[in-house]
Amino acid sequence: MTFFLPAFSNLHELLETLSYIATIIGIVAIYLTVKGLKRDQEKELNANKQTLVNNSVKILKAFSEKIIPEMSDFVNKYPVEVEISKRKALEEVNHYITDDLSKIDKLPKDEKLDWAIEMQAKTAAAAGQIFNELEQISVYMNYDLVEPNLVFGPIHKVFLNFVSTNSDYLEFISSEDAPYENVHKLYENWTKVERMRILDKKQSALNDEKRKLTNNE
């Protein structure tokens, strides 16, 4: 009995020591695992952020190098195409008038005819192509694939102005097969954001005015 007691005691201490070491190793392993997960998460977040920045740069580049120049061309071409469409319509009408004395030199005032001429002129001036490009680009903004602060400021006014000015044509080309949902959605969202910005500026100006009146400035 006296021979086994010290051995048992040493074994017990050894097991406690091994248990303690195992616990420490487990804690260290968990710490390293959590640290590794956080590091991987940070890398993923940084990679995602970089992707958003890269997408934002692509959108800005597309606007500056392609879409805005096309919009400028459209503004210049549209009135020319209106006159061309009017002349073609006039020729078409006179084609069916056999009596030369009855031929007309000016189109009659007609709301539907004016609308048809405008749609034809906008089509010829490539408004449809611009809206197709805006539809593709709007996906990036609608699905948070860009950094909003990088994109909104430089292009929102150009986008809103073009869509607003040509809303009649957007409705004309929208259909079940090509609803231009992303253009409609982005226009609605950005209109609200811009409206809020305007209201915030007005509220800030009112607050400054109240402060000056209160302080007798």
pLDDT in tens, 147-195: 999 999 999 999 999 999 999 999 999 998 889 999 999 999 999 999 9
Can you give the residue range of the structural domain that contains 55?
4-66+126-214
Query: What is the average pLDDT score of the chain?
Result: 85
Calculate the CA 127 to chain-centre distance: 19
C-alpha closest to that of 72 among 137, 177, 158, 143: 158
In this prediction, the residues of the chain whose per-residue pLDDT falls under 70 are: 1-22, 26-47, 100-101, 217
Is residue 131 included in any domain, yes or no? Answer: yes
Helices (H), ranges, 63-110: 68-95
% of residues, the chain, pLDDT over 70: 77
Total domains, the chain: 1
Is residue 91 included in any domain, yes or no? Answer: no
Is residue 73 included in any domain, yes or no? Answer: no
What is d(CA 94, CA 88) in angstroms, rounded to the nearest whole number?
10
What is d(CA 92, CA 105) in angstroms, rounded to the nearest whole number?
12
Is residue 100 included in any domain, yes or no? Answer: no
What is d(CA 179, CA 62) in angstroms, rounded to the nearest whole number?
22
pTM of the model: 0.75
pLDDT in tens, 7-19: 445 666 666 666 6
Is residue 78 included in any domain, yes or no? Answer: no
Is residue 185 included in any domain, yes or no? Answer: yes
Is residue 178 included in any domain, yes or no? Answer: yes
Is residue 142 included in any domain, yes or no? Answer: yes
